Amino acid sequence: MEIVNFPIRWNPCGTKASKSNQNSIYRERLIVDAGYKNEIIEVKYNKKMRIFGFIATVGSFIVFAAIFLNAIKFDSAYSILGVTGSLIGMLFNFYGFLHISPGLFKKGRVLFTIHPGPEGKIQSSKKSVAIRNIKDLKVERYGYTIRSLFFTDLVIYTLNDKKVRIPTYNLLDVEQFNQEVRAYILPNMTPEAQEHWNRKLNG
């Protein structure tokens, strides 16, 4: 079995990773048994982004809490604005932390795995989709919820018209993931799905 690790750098706009970032992506290979079918690609996020995500949610919550404690003294004409704004800020940051925390504390920092080959699949801790059953896949906002305003997911469209959502917690580099799709997923999709993917990228 061959395990290939891909630490993925966060790219909130989905723009192309810089050359320096691409060069910083490394591959750790553990060869147990050579064979394409037994290769497992672990799609990970960068350790630095775990720290950034933690600070962005918990750190902001602490800042808004400090504003709230100061505004609640009501020693200023703007105190009511401070109380209202800080409460809203704390709620949003607490909500964000609840949704990003599963990604921040994932075992081994693995978002999901790709199992290449004719019998390959994309697999997360809870869901699995056969590559040959994939019609299309996108990193996009899923549904119409408060969560979808802040987080994007890997959404897989299957040939039997189902949608499978795999959370990425905003920690997935879209451009880098597209490269892994071309290398490990696209060759084993149906010809129609391959044509659609190529047309989408080239269009």
* pLDDT of 71: 93
Instruction: Sheet containing 134-140: give its strands across.
Output: 134-140, 153-158, 163-167
Of 56, 32, 45, which is closest to residue 5 (Cα–Cα)? 45
Q: What is the C-alpha separation between 51 and 131, in angstroms, rounded?
A: 33
Cite the DSSP H helix spans in 25-78: 47-54, 60-71
Q: Which residues pair with 116 in a beta bridge?
A: none
pLDDT value of position 203: 63
Assign 3 to helix, strand or coil: strand
What pLDDT is attached to residue 24? Answer: 36
Contact by Cβ (8 Å): 17, 11: yes
Helix (H) or strand (E) segment spanning residue 107: none
Contact 11, 18 (CB under 8 A): no
Query: pLDDT in tens for each of the 203 residues of the chain?
Result: 444 444 443 343 344 444 444 433 333 333 333 345 568 999 988 677 778 888 889 999 999 999 999 999 888 888 999 999 999 999 999 999 998 888 877 777 789 999 999 999 999 989 999 999 999 999 999 888 888 888 889 999 999 999 999 999 888 888 888 889 999 999 999 999 999 888 887 76
Whether the model clears a pTM of 0.95, i.e. scores above it, the answer is: no
